Amino acid sequence: MRFSLQREVFLKPLAQVVNVVERRQTLPVLANLLVQVKDGQLSLTGTDLEVEMIARHAVDEAQDGETTIPARKLFEIVRALPDGSKVTVSQTGDKVTVQAGRSRFTLASLPANDFPSVDEMEATERVQVPEAALKELIERTAFAMAQQDVRYYLNGLLFDLRDKTLRCVATDGHRLALCEAALEEGAATKRQIIVPRKGVQELQRLLEGGDRSLELEVGRSHIRVKRDDVTFTSKLIDGRFPDYEAVIPIGADREVRIDREVLRAALQRAAILSNEKYRGVRVEVSPGQLKINAHNPEQEEAQEEVEADTRVDNLAIGFNVNYLLDALSALRDEFVVLQLRDANSSALVREAGSEKCRHVVMPLRL
C-alpha cells in the first residue's frame, strides 16, 4: 500500500475520524485507523464499536492495499508537519512509513483483518435531509441531553421522523428542547430513534452546514448518515423515549414578549449572586416589566428589572438560571416569548416569530 497527499488535504479526513477513536481501548486495534487504498480512493475508518466514521478522499500515486495505523500518532505527525508539504505513506511488512520532505516516521501497524466492522445494517427508512437543517436541529437541542442519567434513554437525542418533518428532542427531566425541520420527502412510516451522546457529539462536529443534502438511513439498531466524503454510523439506544408532547405546557396563556439579548444579559448578571448549588432565580412578572431576583446563603442579593411587553400581573416563578440561559442561547430571534400559567407550572420559551423551536423549563421551588 502506498499513497501521497498534500498535508492540508490529508489532515481534514484524519481530524474527522480520529475523534471517534477512544483513548482507552479494550482491543489494541481500536487505537488504530483502518487505512484502505483502492482505485485511487483513500478511505480512513475509526470506530469504538459504538460509533464508526469513514472518511474518503481521492489520492494520486496510489498503490492498492490496506492496513491499520495508530490513529493519534498519525494525526499528530501530519498536524505537526509544515504547511504545504506533501505526505507519502507507504507500507512494508508490518511497518508503515510516513514521509514528508526531510521528515520520516516509521510506525508499527496491525493487520487490517483484525479491525472490527460495524454490523451490517439493513436500512428500514431512508430520508434526505439538508445538512444545514440537521446541523441546526442538533445545535439547538443537544445541550438538554441528560448526562449519565440512570434513565439511560435520556442520555441521547431523539430523532422523531413523521410525515414530512424531522424533529430532534432532548430532555434531562428538568428541561426539554425541541426543534423541527421540514423535509422535502417524508418518511414512509413514523419512526422514533435515540442516538447516544457520543454519536450526537461526533455528528455535530462533522456537519458543516451549507446546501448539501445528506442521506439519513435508519436501521433496527443503527443510524447512518451519508455525505459524499464521509459515512457516519452509530448504534442506537434501545429504549423508549418519554412522551415529550405531554410535557409541553397546554393552556399557558400568560405571555411575556421580551428582547432576548436584554433578558439574557440580566439573567447572567443575576446568576453571579445565585446559590451555587441550586442556581435559582425568582422571576416576577407585572404589566410592562419583568423583575429577576437572586439570593445566596451569604445574604447577598441581585435585582434586575427589564422592560417586557406583557399584561400579566402578579406572577412569580422560580427557575434554574442555567436552564433559562441555555434555552435563550439556542434561540435566534431578537424577541422571545415566555408562556406561563402559574407558579407551579413549567414555562414554554420560544421565538416570537416561530414555533419551530420550543424549550420547556420546569419551575423551581424557592
Q: Tell whether 58 is covered by a domain.
A: yes
Of 77, 95, 114, at which residue does a domain stop?
Answer: 114
The candidate with the shortest Cα–Cα distance to 53, out of 239, 223, 236, 168, is 223
**Domain shared by 252 and 196, yes or no:** no
Q: Which of 145, 29, 152 is nearest to 94 (CA)?
A: 29
Residues 271, 220 share a domain: no
Whether 229 and 291 map to the same domain: the answer is: no
Does residue 24 lie in a domain region? yes
Q: Which residues, at least 6 apart from 231, have a Cβ–Cβ distance to it below 8 Å?
A: 53, 54, 56, 224, 225
- Examine residue 344 and state whether it is found in any structural domain, yes or no: yes
From 52, 83, 114, the end of a domain falls on: 114
Could you tell me if 209 and 236 lie in one domain? yes
Residue 158 and residue 171 share a domain: yes
Together in a domain, 31 and 65: yes
> Largest Cα–Cα distance of the chain, in whole Å?
79
Q: What is the span of the domain harbouring residue 218? A: 125-245
DSSP states of 89-113 as a string? EEEETTEEEEEETTEEEEEE-B-GG
Instruction: Tell me how far apart the alpha carbons of residues 347 and 352 are, in angstroms, rounded to a whole number.
Output: 15
Q: Would residue 49 count as lying in a domain? A: yes
Beta bridge partners of 70: 32
CA distance 127 to 47: 24
- Residues 108 and 147 reside in one and the same domain: no
Q: What is the pLDDT along the chain (366 residues), one digit of tens a residue?
A: 999 999 999 999 999 999 999 888 788 999 999 999 999 999 999 999 999 999 999 998 899 999 999 999 999 999 999 999 999 999 999 999 999 999 999 999 999 999 998 767 788 899 999 999 999 999 999 999 999 999 999 999 999 998 899 999 999 999 999 999 999 887 878 999 999 999 999 999 999 988 899 999 999 999 999 999 999 999 999 999 999 999 998 878 899 999 999 999 999 999 999 999 899 999 999 999 999 999 999 999 999 999 999 999 999 999 999 999 999 999 999 999 999 999 999 999 999 999 999 999 999 987
Task: Give the cell for residue 44.
Answer: 480512513
Q: Are residues 255 and 208 in the same domain?
A: no
pLDDT value of residue 251: 79
* Three cell numbers written together for 10: 490529508
Q: How many CB atoms lie within 10 A of CB 82?
A: 9
CB burial readout 33-60, b (16+ within 10 A) else e: bbbbbeeeebbbbbbbeebbbbbbbebe
Asked if residue 132 and residue 103 are part of one domain, the reply reads no
Residue 119 lies in a domain: no
For residue 117, the model assigns a pLDDT of: 80
Choose one of 245, 266, 294: the last residue of a domain: 245
Residues in the chain: 366
346 and 270 inside one domain: yes
The pLDDT, as a whole number, for residue 120 is 74
What integer pLDDT is reported at residue 119 of this predicted model? 67
d(CA 143, CA 186): 26
Same domain, 253 and 241: no
Q: How many domains does the chain have?
A: 3
Residue 324 forms part of a structural domain: yes
Question: Whole-prediction pTM value?
Answer: 0.92
42: CATH: 3.10.150.10
**CA 181 – CA 137 distance, rounded (Å):** 7
DSSP state of 30: G
Residue 366 lies in a domain: no
Closest CA to 51 of 228, 225, 213, 266: 225
In a domain, 120, yes or no: no
* 175 and 235 belong to one structural domain: yes
- Say if CB 333 and CB 260 are below 8 A apart: yes
Q: Are 341 and 254 in contact (CB under 8 A)?
A: yes
Predicted local distance difference test score (pLDDT) of residue 196: 97
